[in-house]
Amino acid sequence: MKLNFKLNLSLIAGAMLAVSCGGSGGGSSESETTSSTPAATPEPPKEVNLEEKYKDDPVFIRGVELMKQNDCPSCHMIERKIVGPSYADVAAKYESTEENVEMLAGRVIAGNVGEWGEIPMPAHPALSEDDAKDMVRYVLLLKK
C-alpha cells in the first residue's frame, strides 16, 4: 500500500509538472500559442522625406541646382524653418499655378516682407526671371 501511495503521488506530481510546463511530449496547446505570442500589429507606413520623394523629378533636380548656386539655403530648408519658412510650408500655402509661380518669382527677385513675418527676404536682382520661376516650381513641388 505504501508503494502504491508513493507511486500515485509521483504520478500526480509528474502530471502537474507536465501541465505547468506546457504538457508532455514537447507539444504546445492552442491557448499557449495565443497567450505567448502577441498579436501582430501592422507597422505604420514609413514617412518618406520630401528630398527622397522627389529626388528623380527634373523640376526637383533643377531647383536644387539653382538653390545651391544662390543664397537660399542660408534662410530656408526643405522641411524645417530657419530664418524664412521651409519650402514645404510655402508649398502648403500656395497652389502650384502659373499665376502663383509668376507672383512668387517676382517676390524672389524684388525681395519681400510681411508674408511670413517681419524678417525681410532680400532681393535677388541678378536672378533671371526663368531661373526664379524654376526655383519657385521646385518649392511648390515639395508638398507633403
Closest CA to 128 of 112, 105, 97, 104: 105
52, three cell numbers? 527622397
Measured between alpha carbons, how far is residue 41 from residues 35, 37, 44, 45 in Å?
15, 12, 9, 12
77 annotated ligand-binding residue: no
Cell reading at 125: 536682382
Biggest alpha carbon–alpha carbon distance for the chain: 110
Alpha helices in 21-80 (DSSP H): 30-36, 50-54, 58-69
76 known member of a binding site:
yes
Q: Is residue 72 a known part of a binding site?
A: yes
Binding residues: 72, 76, 121
Binding residues for heme c: 72, 76, 121
